[in-house]
A and B are shown apart, each in its own frame.
Chain A
Amino acid sequence: MPELTKQRPKYLALNEIRLPVPGFVSILHRVSGAGLFLALPFLLCLLQLSLGSADNYQTYKAIVGHPLAKLVLFGLCWAYLHHFCAGIRFLLLDIHVGIEKEQARASAKGVLAVSLGLTLIVALKFLGVF
């Protein structure tokens, strides 16, 4: 065999792979989508309670007032915002906007920053900071 037979890993060492930023945004798009899918029954319960009777509304208030529920909701808020921002980026890439390497990296960083920033604003608003 010629020198082509370079030693290559036989498996993917997930802890050693360093994804470029666009790859990171891409896998987070999948993770956030999966998380939102799993949370649908919880979110539908909240929607039903929030739009139900006055008693239902009090139950809704009690649930979203719980620290653990707040944490989960902030996580889901990030998941929605990340999925939203990354999705718009993918739609633009589909129509060949920003497909150059530098632009694609910049837009990926933008997606991470905007979705985290908006999540922070929503969380602070929800906690009554402003």
Chain B
Amino acid sequence: MKARIVVGAHYGLKDWIAQRVTAVVMALYTLILGIAILAGGADNQETWRALMGNVFFRFVTPLFVLSLCYHAWIGVRDIWMDYLKNTAVRLTLHVVTILVLVGYAAWAVQIIWRL
């Protein structure tokens, strides 16, 4: 049997795995937050602030935010790659997507850690 020669920088595989790992992180966070809300965590502003400001959520919410931004980057990049044939337009949108996602991540972490 001939050995299969794998070439390339493996960016595709890395992103494929990252897309799935971040998805699992977000799914687990969604379930935990959902249970916390069902348990009364968002009944009024005091409980909501207390929930989001507790030690556990101050730790896991930024993990969710970072996962979301990385996940959104791969997904949105794939959309641009699939439909935009013009290189200049596509590259511009890639840069814009990265910039807004980094900004959103910083904004979200700032909201949580200010509590």
Contact = CB atoms under 8 A, between A and B. Distances in A.
A54 B45 contact: yes
Contacts of B27: 84, 87-88
Interface of A: 30, 33-34, 36-37, 40-41, 44, 47-48, 50-51, 54, 57, 84, 87-88, 91, 94
A48 B104 contact: no
A48 B111 contact: yes
Contacts of B111: 44, 47-48, 51
B48 A34 contact: no
Interface stretch (B2-10, B71-79, B84-92): B71-79
B30 A84 contact: yes
Contacts of A44: 104, 107-108, 111
A91 B23 CA distance: 9
A95 B27 CA distance: 17
Given A51-B111, A51-B115, A91-B23, A30 B79 contact: yes
Contacts of A51: 48-49, 52, 111-112, 115
A34 B80 CA distance: 11
> A-side binding surface: helix, strand, loop or mixed?
helix
A44 to B, nearest CB: 6
Contacts, number: 43
Ranked nearest first, the 4 interchain pairs of A and B with the lowest CB-CB distance are: A57-B45, A33-B75, A48-B111, A37-B72
Given A84-B30, A88-B27, A91-B23, A37 B48 contact: no
Nearest to B78: A30
Contacts of B20: 91, 94
B24 A50 contact: no
12 contacts: A30-B75, A30-B79, A36-B72, A40-B72, A40-B104, A44-B104, A44-B107, A47-B108, A51-B48, A57-B45, A88-B27, A91-B20
B48 A50 contact: yes
